[in-house]
Every structure is written in structure tokens, then in C-alpha cells.
């Protein structure tokens, strides 16, 4: 048996260990270097991808390199999609796999290797499906690194049958969504009754749990290894029942879909969860002032480092009083305005933030000015302001603010609003004044960058960029050509030039000497000249 085969066998036989995975990464560096420019820090992008995903799997929010790891994971994944030899796992025909190298928490790959499969070819007879699923899983476990199963449209008894078979002991992840017979209770009972789920690390239940189902799940005796739980919806009584379970209190990551104020109220009444570092709450709910105060004042989440609130309208003055050591805060669709941002920058955790995402939060010029003027945010590495009407004054504040010079990622996608319109001159002035020497990822989709802005980007002041999004930016042929002929963007790996009427402008992209590290480039919707299309389509990673 070759060294490579022995290492792959060890990875399959020791699914919880990083050591054989990292040893395989070392083997790749030595025996399978890329042979072409890539975003990798070492000889092999595939090896770097394994190392980066192993580190991110630990949820290293306190690691100073955490923001850089997020960037690198995306760059490596997109580059590998274009350039790697795709040796897909040997899977039975009954199982589907996502194929693309994943990033950002998508589960097709985990810790550097193919991980999640889905069974979709259901027969009419549940017993037949149980047999086919377990047979296929057995083959996948023997031939591939698969450890997570997703079932959608299953019957409850089919889920119960699969998890109560001995092969379920090999599962590290289980994802369930939409039951064709609406018998979620049978699936929950099956999970609780299974003696084979002692190694399960991740459980996604993307459906509504009734109070009775939550009480049953809370009594599961074999979920002690569980680290991450996603619940589609639950109730106040259901969440309180789960909070009494020892396995629930030991979670490291919890994602909840909220459907009522009462469910949110239960969060503040949970017993301490000393290992929880990641909490995601999704739902169009406005908690009461009392529930909000209790939530942030509780001792339920003493180590919380990453908080995501999607559409959940938690009062920002209450959130600012939270004692958590947050490193990553994501607010989506949560109205902030100036008062909300002012409260955030006064929060005790503001100085520890490294990633701040405020997508679609109605952040206006005054809010951006407050962010840019806050010395406490000097440690911030990622700032996402996408979908906000920042206006010309907001761009000026970002360019002139001395406290955001350390940013590695700035997302201004879709920030051109009718009430605070931007023009090409404003954007060009902003780009010319921008002083962020560490900037790697810059996203400007749907801003009027135009030809003047393209010339500024190409002039050399953005030489450290590895990702540049310019979809729908009015570049036209001249602006596209300026960028594609520039030597001032040598490290770009991810490039979006779609919907820019590029004409013959992108023709030089056909050569691998143009952006030599390129892993992904979107030219769709750009009306590329017909004579250039054939050449462009030959280059891996180009979408035309």
C-alpha cells in the first residue's frame, strides 16, 4: 500500500482525528505541489485547504488569524474548484454529494475532505428505503470520508430505521428537513431511542418541534458528544425542556429559528451553557424590553464569541450591555440607524470585535461616521455594510477614518440607494482616498465605479487585493480593459466583472499570465465580444 493510500485509510478509520488529515496535507506539499500560482501559503492549495478547514472547525474566534482564515478558505475553495484534479469520492448512485469545494460553513467538505451526502431516490416502501440508505452508507463509509447524512422528504419511520441501525455509529452529522408523511415525532423518537448516536457531533432539525417532541428529545441518553444543534422552530416550553438536558447545555454552537417572543424569552432563562461560543437566532421577532434585558444579563452564555441575529429586532441599547467576549457580530435586517451604531460602539465587547457584519440594517451616513470615528473599533478586520444607504458622506467617512485602516475586508455591495445616491465621481474620490493597507477583499457590486474608478483600482494602490467584486458597476469595455491589462492587482484570485457590458475588454483574461492566481471570474451578463468567447471559455474558473 502506498503512503497516500495508507493516509487516506487512516482518515476514514479515524474520522474525529485531525492528525492523519494534517499528515496527508504534509504529504501533498511534498508530493503534489500545485505547479501553477495559487492562493496557498505553501506548495499545495489542497494541503492549505485541509489545514484551514481543520482550524476553522474548532471555531477559533479568539485566534488573531480567524478573519484571515475565513478569507483564505474562500479563495482556496474557489481556486480548487477551477484547478484541482477532481477525484470525487466513490459513492453509490443512491447518494448525492455537493461536489464543489465548500467554504463559509457549507457542509459538502469538512476539515478538508468530502463529508455530507444526501439520499433522494425514495421508493414507495419505507423498509426498502431504509435498506437502500443503510447499504449505501456502508459503501460510502468504506470508500470515502463521508460522515454526515442529509435526509429531506423522508418518512419519520425511515429516519428512525436508519439511525437505529449499527452503521449510525459512524455518523458525525445528521440533517433532517421536511417529512413527506409529516411524522416528525417518529424521527425524534428514533433519535432518542438509538444506542448508536454516541459519536454524533452535529444535528440539524430543520422543522418545527412541538413542545412534546422537544421534551422527548431532551431525554436523549446518547447525545453527549453533540457540539452543534440547529432547530427549525420551537416553543417557550420546548426550549425550556431542552435547557434541562445535560447534552444541550454542553453545546458549542446553537442555531434557533424564532417564531415568537415567548421563544426568545426562554433564552434568557436557560441554565449556563459554559461551552457555547456560537449563537445564531433567525426570525422576524421583536422581543420585549424585559426579555431583551434578561437575555443580555443572564449567565447562560459566558463564553459567547460569535452572535448572529437575522431579522430579530433586539434593541441595540440592550445588546450593548451584554458581557460576552464577542469577536464576530452579525446583524442582518436589523434596523440600526445612528442611535443603534452609537450604542454598539459603546458596548463592552466593541473593542474585541474582529468581524462586524451589518447587512441590510439601514445604516446611513451618520451611522457610518460613528463607526469610522470610533477608536474602539481599531482592531476590526472585516466590515460588511452591504445593502445600506451609506451615501457620499459615508464613503468619505470610511476613507478618512483613521481607526479602520486595519481592515482586511470591506463589503459595500448594493450601497447605492435612491435617497442617498452615489455617482462615479464620488466613488472614484473614495477609492483614491481609501487608506487601508491590509485590505484583501473589496466588494463594490452595483456601485457606479465606472471607468475612472477602474483606473484608480488598477493604478497600484490596491496591490494586496485577492478578491474584487465589481458586478454591475458600469465599467463598460474601457473600464474592463483597464482592469484586465493592469499589473497593479497581481494577487487577485476572485474577480466579479459580470453585468458590465465588457465587450472586448476582458479578452486578456484568456491568458493565464493575466491574474495568474485566478480561481474564479464571473463575466456573465457582460456582453463579451463573440470573438473572445471561445478563448475565454478555455481558461478554468471563467464564467461567461
Instruction: State pLDDT tens for residues 38-67.
Output: 999 999 999 999 999 999 999 999 999 999
Q: Residue 148's beta-bridge partner residues?
A: 116, 173
Residue 283: per-residue pLDDT: 93
Handedness of CA 172, 177, 180, 182 (dihedral sign): positive
Determine whether 311 is exposed, middle or buried from the number of CB atoms within 10 Å of its CB (0-12, 13-18, 19+): middle
Pair (69, 157) in one structural domain: no
Indicate whether 138 belongs to any domain.
yes
* Top-confidence residue, 30 or 340: 30
Query: Which DSSP symbol is given to 243?
Result: H
Q: Let me know if residue 105 belongs to a domain.
A: yes
Shared domain check, 155 and 48: no
Q: What is the mean pLDDT of residues 20-32?
A: 96
Tell whether 192 and 264 lie within a shared domain: no
The whole-number pLDDT of residue 89 equals 80
184 in the same domain as 93? yes
Q: What is the Cα–Cα distance from 185 to 418, expressed in whole angstroms? A: 49
Instruction: Check whether 87 has a pLDDT greater than 70.
Output: no
Q: How many structural domains are present in the chain?
A: 3
Query: Of all residues in the chain, what percent carry a pLDDT higher than 90?
Result: 88
What predicted TM-score, i.e. pTM, was given to this entire model? 0.96
Instruction: Give the pLDDT of residue 86.
Output: 64
Residue 92 and residue 200 share a domain? yes
Q: How far is CA 92 from CA 23, 102, 229, 269, in A?
A: 28, 21, 28, 46
Confidence of residue 90 (pLDDT cuts 50, 70, 90): confident
C-alpha 398/C-alpha 416 separation (Å) is 15
For position 110, what pLDDT does the model report? 95
At 529, the pLDDT band (50, 70, 90 cuts) reads: confident
Asked if residue 74 and residue 92 are part of one domain, the reply reads no
Do the domain assignments include residue 344? no
Q: Left, alpha or beta for 178 (phi > 0: left; psi -120 to 50: alpha)?
A: left
Residue 93 lies inside a defined structural domain of this protein: yes
Report residue 116: phi and psi, to 5°. Answer: -110, 135
Domain co-membership, 225 together with 311: yes
Same-domain status, 273 and 287: yes
The verdict on residue 435 lying in a domain is: no
Dihedral (CA of 200, 204, 207, 208) sign: positive
337 pLDDT higher than 80: no
Residue at a domain's end among 82, 117, 149: 82
Please tell me the predicted confidence (pLDDT) of residue 92. Answer: 87
Residue 16 domain boundaries: 3-82
Instruction: Cell 499589473: give the residue.
Output: 487
Answer yes or no: are the C-beta atoms of 158 and 130 closer than 8 Å. yes
Do 194 and 278 fall within a single domain?
no
* Residue 465 confidence (pLDDT): 98
Q: Has residue 196 been placed in a domain?
A: yes
Whole-number pLDDT of residue 201: 98
Residue where a domain terminates, one of 297, 316, 335: 316
CB 446 within 8 A of CB 471: yes
Whether residue 92 is found in the same domain as residue 203: yes
Calculate the average pLDDT of the chain: 94
| Same domain assignment for residues 101 and 196 | yes
Tell me which of 172, 207, 242 is where a domain ends: 207
Q: Is residue 307 a part of any domain in this protein?
A: yes
Is pLDDT above 90 for 432? yes
Q: Give which of 88, 113, 154, 134 is closest to 24, Cα–Cα.
A: 113
Question: Quick one: 61 and 150 in the same domain?
Answer: no
C-alpha cell at 216: 422527548
Residue 64 covered by a domain: yes
pLDDT of residue 88: 74
Query: Residue 542 pairs with which residues in a beta bridge?
Result: 521
pLDDT of 1 reads 62
Where do the DSSP E strands lie in 493-540? 494-496, 520-522
Amino acid at each position: 500500500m502506498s503512503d497516500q493510500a495508507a493516509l487516506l485509510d487512516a482518515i476514514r478509520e479515524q474520522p474525529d482525528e485531525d492528525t492523519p488529515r494534517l499528515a496527508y496535507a504534509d504529504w501533498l506539499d511534498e508530493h503534489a505541489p500545485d505547479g501553477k500560482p495559487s492562493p496557498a501559503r505553501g506548495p499545495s492549495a489542497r494541503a492549505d485547504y485541509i489545514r484551514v478547514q481543520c482550524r476553522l472547525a474548532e471555531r477559533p474566534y479568539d485566534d488573531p488569524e480567524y478573519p484571515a482564515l475565513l478569507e483564505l478558505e474562500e479563495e482556496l475553495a474557489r481556486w480548487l474548484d477551477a484547478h484541482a484534479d477532481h477525484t470525487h469520492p466513490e459513492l453509490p448512485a443512491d447518494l448525492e454529494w455537493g461536489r464543489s469545494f465548500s467554504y463559509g460553513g457549507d457542509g459538502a467538505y469538512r476539515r478538508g475532505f468530502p463529508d455530507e451526502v444526501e439520499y433522494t431516490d425514495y421508493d414507495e416502501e419505507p423498509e426498502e428505503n431504509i435498506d437502500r440508505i443503510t447499504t449505501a452508507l456502508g459503501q460510502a463509509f468504506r470508500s470515502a470520508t463521508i460522515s454526515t447524512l442529509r435526509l429531506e422528504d423522508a418518512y419519520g419511520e425511515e429516519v428512525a430505521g436508519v439511525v437505529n441501525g449499527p452503521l449510525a455509529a459512524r455518523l458525525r452529522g445528521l440533517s433532517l428537513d421536511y417529512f413527506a408523511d409529516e411524522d416528525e415525532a417518529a424521527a425524534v423518537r428514533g433519535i432518542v431511542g438509538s444506542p448508536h448516536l454516541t459519536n454524533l457531533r452535529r444535528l440539524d432539525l430543520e422543522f418545527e418541534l412541538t413542545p412534546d417532541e422537544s421534551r422527548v428529545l431532551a431525554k436523549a441518553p446518547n447525545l453527549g458528544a453533540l457540539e452543534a444543534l440547529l432547530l427549525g422552530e420551537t416553543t417557550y416550553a420546548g426550549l425550556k425542556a431542552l435547557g434541562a438536558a445535560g447534552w444541550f447545555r454542553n453545546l458549542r454552537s446553537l442555531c434557533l429559528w424564532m417564531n415568537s417572543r415567548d421563544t426568545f424569552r426562554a433564552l434568557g432563562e436557560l441554565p449556563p451553557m459554559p461551552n457555547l461560543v456560537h449563537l445564531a437566532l433567525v426570525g422576524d421577532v421583536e422581543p420585549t424590553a424585559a426579555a431583551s434585558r434578561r437575555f443580555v444579563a443572564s449567565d447562560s452564555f459566558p463564553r459567547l464569541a460569535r452572535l448572529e441575529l437575522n431579522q430579530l429586532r433586539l434593541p441595540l441599547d440592550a445588546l450593548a450591555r451584554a458581557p460576552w467576549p464577542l469577536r464576530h457580530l452579525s446583524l442582518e435586517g436589523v434596523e440600526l440607524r445612528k442611535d443603534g451604531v452609537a450604542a454598539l460602539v459603546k458596548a463592552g465587547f466593541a473593542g474585541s470585535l474582529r468581524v462586524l457584519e451589518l447587512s441590510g440594517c439601514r445604516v446611513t451616513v451618520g451611522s457610518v461616521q460613528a463607526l469610522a470615528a470610533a477608536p474602539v473599533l481599531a482592531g476590526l478586520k472585516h466590515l460588511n455594510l452591504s445593502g445600506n444607504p451609506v451615501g457620499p458622506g459615508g464613503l468619505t467617512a470610511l476613507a478618512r477614518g483613521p481607526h479602520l485602516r486595519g481592515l482586511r475586508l470591506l463589503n459595500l455591495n448594493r450601497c447605492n440607494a435612491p435617497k442617498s445616491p452615489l455617482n462615479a465621481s464620488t466613488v472614484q474620490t473614495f477609492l483614491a482616498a481609501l487608506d487601508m493597507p491590509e485590505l484583501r477583499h473589496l466588494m463594490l457590486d452595483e456601485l457606479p465605479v465606472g471607468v475612472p474608478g477602474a483606473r484608480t483600482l488598477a493604478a497600484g494602490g490596491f496591490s494586496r487585493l485577492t478578491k474584487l467584486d465589481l458586478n454591475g458597476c458600469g465599467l463598460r469595455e474601457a473600464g474592463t480593459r483597464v482592469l484586465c491589462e493592469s499589473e497593479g492587482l497581481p494577487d487577485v484570485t476572485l474577480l466579479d466583472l459580470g453585468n458590465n457590458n465588457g465587450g472586448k475588454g476582458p479578452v486578456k483574461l484568456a491568458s493565464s499570465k493575466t491574474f495568474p492566481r485566478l480561481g474564479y471570474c464571473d463575466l456573465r451578463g457582460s456582453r463579451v465580444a463573440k470573438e473572445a468567447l471561445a478563448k475565454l471559455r478555455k481558461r478554468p474558473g471563467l464564467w461567461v
